[in-house]
Amino acid sequence: MSGIWIYSEDSVIAKELLTAGLELKVSMSQSVGVITLAGEEQDAFIAAGADKVCILKGQNPWSESYADAVADFVSKERASVLLVGGTLRGKDLAAIAAATLRTGLVTDALTVQYVNNGIETTRLIYGGLAIQTEAISLPAFVTVPPRTYMEAPAMAGRQGEVFTVKVDNIASGISVSSVCPIIREGADISTASRVVGVGRGFGKREDLAMAEKLAQAIGAEIGCTRGIAEDSHWLPSERYIGISGQKVKAELYIAAGISGQVQHVAGVRDSKIIVAIDTNEKAPIFAAADYGIVGDLYEVLPLLAGAMGEK
């Protein structure tokens, strides 16, 4: 078994995974290759460290329909590791490929290492309450969330082998119609340096204005808990923070009306300072916060916005 392969339908993520792949290349002394649907990126991948680039060319644009082709390819290559970009589409494809080849798959790995002839990963379980270290027998499939690694920098004058594989992925049994992009509003909260998080403590959509005032006062982006985005639909889903949502690594995170269930807190734990405002002194958010105010956000937020505004 030889070869570390990387797949993502998103070329930026593929370059992030190259960083992880190149670390493994050192410890496993095996070559690193990229499987891509985006032929035009071939040189960029090689510049970023790929020894090989495999371009899958099929007629069906739906990336999930490449699962069999990816499985096929890695088994032919007798790959020892397949790193997949942990988008929803990526996880879907990885699980299908893993089932086809009867291999182990770890999704949402925080770290990937080569340890005594196997792959060792860490990931969160119980909604972020605990971190689990797992050993996967080779060949090992792993999905890694976007932005876990930096993009591998381009190096001048690298050589690599590029080949194209024709794929018949028409008959996936599924026909896709009307794809409508979700337009991102405002900046990306996962990179924002300050974030105000809103939860079910807000009674009505209009009340979010109070949070926005505070956000303006301190130059923050608005984030939220899953319910606010997915149940109430008050904010777009890319605004929700947590184990299954965005991870924020802010200088300052202010949680208002958020109970602080572990699944949410898992998304803010990398923030430097966490502030919580909640009426319930027993709310778990306070255990996860540096500073907390026990009180009604309807009273506290305007005061805070005022005070911070003056500064």
Least distance (Å) from ligand FAD to the CB of residue 168?
A: 37
DSSP 208: H
Which of 258, 276, 288, 289 is the binder for ligand FAD (CB under 6 A)? Answer: 258
**Least separation in angstroms between CB 32 and another protein:** 22
Residue tagged 């290492």 (tokens): 113
Smaller CB separation from another protein, 257 or 292? 292
Least separation in angstroms between CB 52 and another protein? 26
Which of another protein, ligand FAD, none is residue 264 near (CB under 5 to 8 Å by kind)? ligand FAD
Closest CB to another protein among residues 22, 295: 295
| Residue closest to 196 by CA, chosen among 175, 221, 160, 225 | 221
CA distance 139 to 260: 38
Check binding of 91 to ligand FAD (CB under 6 A): no
Site size toward ligand FAD (CB under 6 A) is 28
**Residue 135 binding: pick among ligand FAD, another protein, none (C-beta 5-8 Å cut-off by kind):** another protein
Residue 103 touches ligand FAD, criterion: CB under 6 A:
no
Identity of the residue, 85 or 257, whose beta carbon is nearer to ligand FAD in the bound complex:
257
Q: Are strands 4-7 and 32-36 parallel, antiparallel or unpaired?
A: parallel
How far, in Å, CA of 267 to CA of 207, rounded? 24
93, amino acid identity: L
The terminus-to-terminus CA distance of the chain in angstroms comes to 61
227 near ligand FAD (CB under 6 A): yes
Which of 104, 160, 245, 292 contacts ligand FAD by CB under 6 A? 245
Per the CB < 8 A criterion, the answer to whether 7 and 69 are in contact is no
Taking CB atoms, the residue at the shortest distance from ligand FAD is 242
In the complex, minimum distance from the CB of residue 43 to another protein, in angstroms, rounded to a whole number: 25
Nearest to 36 by CA among 44, 25, 28, 24: 44
CB 51 within 8 A of CB 77: no
CA distance 86 to 65: 16
Q: Quick one: what does residue 293 bind among another protein, ligand FAD, none, with the CB cut-off 5 to 8 Å set by partner type?
A: another protein
In the complex with ligand FAD, which residue's Cβ is closer, 3 or 201? 201
Residue 94 contacts residue 145 (beta carbons within 8 Å): no
CA 240 to CA 221: how far, in whole Å?
12
Binding residues vs ligand FAD (CB under 6 A): 127, 199-201, 225-227, 240-245, 257-259, 261, 263-264, 267, 277-280, 283, 296-298
